[in-house]
Amino acid sequence: MSQDLTLLLIEDEPEIRRFLRTTLPAHGFRLHEAVTGKDGLTEAKARNPDLVLLDLGLPDLEGNEVIRQIREWTTMPIIVLSARDQEQAKVAALDLGADDYITKPFGVNELIARMRAALRHASRPVDGGESVFVLGDLKVDIDRRQVFVSEKEVHLTPIEYKLLTTLIRYAGRVMTHRQLLKEVWGPLHVDEGHYLRVYMRQLRNKLERNPAHPRYLMTELGVGYRLRTE
Ligand code: CA
């Protein structure tokens, strides 16, 4: 079973929100909505979604200002929704760090193809390595969002999966509690160390043969966690 993706839609046009609200859940996306740029920024920080869909013409802030502020703290994929006459704004959006754009009106299949491409790119290990991560009897297929232990598929919650793939992205390196909290839960939650302890315990219970003596998900005492690479 693949894991649900969370998606934040920042868009003031009710027709587009309604269209996406009725189509995207069937494709495995959990949708959160914001109508203004300010609300969008708040939601992005609070929910740390897997992907942002951003309308460039918002009532309060320029869409590009929203991109600039999101890029101050995260590389989460951003796809811009633009009108036909917004060429300059579109280029500026990409220069500011948006991953892709789609011109209105668009079909849901085209949008999903764009989103999958942006997500695939975002979940690649930083060194451009394989999209399948293997460590002992643990196998993570990042393109398909599937996790196996000894060839048996293991179901992870969205947060567990995000925690695991974040560790994979930095495999072999120590990640501090704050770094992990920021990457997985978002910058408003960097002091919530108990989230991390709870989810790390769940992840070990699902992935480790002996969760009390982990072989993969290593504790770096007083610092954070490290995913072993050999
Ligand atoms: Ca608009």
CATH class of 5-123: alpha beta
Give the pLDDT confidence of 77-120 residue by residue, as tens digits. Answer: 999 998 877 778 888 888 888 888 898 999 999 899 889 888 87
40: closest CA among 78, 75, 2, 4?
78
Distance in Å, CA 71 to ligand 1 centroid: 21
Distance in Å, CA 80 to ligand 1 centroid: 11
Q: What is the pLDDT of residue 129?
A: 55
Domain boundaries, the chain: 5-123, 132-227
Distance in Å, CA 110 to ligand 1 centroid: 20
Distance in Å, CA 210 to ligand 1 centroid: 52
Question: Would you say 200 and 217 are in contact if contact means Cβ atoms under 8 Å apart?
Answer: yes
Q: What is the pLDDT of residue 1?
A: 38
List, for the chain, all residue ranges whose pLDDT scores fall below the cut of 70.
1-3, 123-130
Give the pLDDT confidence of 48-61 residue by residue, as tens digits. Answer: 999 999 999 999 99
End-to-end CA distance of the chain: 27
159: closest CA among 30, 20, 17, 9?
30
- Tokens 């600039």: give the residue: 68
Distance in Å, CA 123 to ligand 1 centroid: 29
Q: Are strands 78-82 and 174-176 parallel, antiparallel or unpaired?
A: unpaired
Q: How far apart are CA 73 and CA 222, in angstroms?
A: 24
Question: Would you say 95 and 71 are in contact if contact means Cβ atoms under 8 Å apart?
Answer: no
Pick the CATH number of 132-227 from 3.40.50.300, 2.20.25.90, 1.10.10.10, 3.90.1150.10: 1.10.10.10
Q: What is the pLDDT of residue 227?
A: 92
Residues whose CB is under 5 A from ligand 1 (ion)?
Answer: 12, 55, 57
Distance in Å, CA 147 to ligand 1 centroid: 39
Distance in Å, CA 203 to ligand 1 centroid: 41
